[in-house]
Amino acid sequence: MARLITIKLAKSPIGTIRKHRETLRGLGLTKTNKVVVRKDTPEIRGMLRQVMYLIKILKVEEVPDTEG
């Protein structure tokens, strides 16, 4: 079972430090109100923790692995 996290950029990164803007870009959050889905890994969790004041976590869900 894989876990997915749905994330929304709730606040504008204008005026934040450069490292946080780069973290948002790494997550794929480039515009306000954009929603992305990422795998739940320790690396992603660390990135989310760093920019928690700018984002909103909408959903964390379990999805079955599909092996083809």
Q: What is the CATH number of the domain that holds 13?
A: 3.30.1390.20
pLDDT at 68: 57
- Is pLDDT at 4 greater than 90 in this prediction? yes
Is the residue at 25 inside a domain? Answer: yes
Contact yes or no for 52/9 (Cβ under 8 A)? no
Is the residue at 29 inside a domain? Answer: yes
Is the residue at 57 inside a domain? Answer: yes
pLDDT at 24: 97
- Is pLDDT at 1 greater than 90 in this prediction? no
Is the residue at 17 inside a domain? Answer: yes
Is the residue at 68 inside a domain? Answer: no
What is the average pLDDT value for the chain, to the nearest integer?
94
Q: Which tokens sit at 22?
A: 């780069």
Domain that holds residue 42: 2-63
Does the pTM surpass 0.85? The reply is yes
Split into its structural domains, the chain has a count of 1
- pLDDT digits 0-9 by tens, 17-37: 999 999 999 999 999 999 999
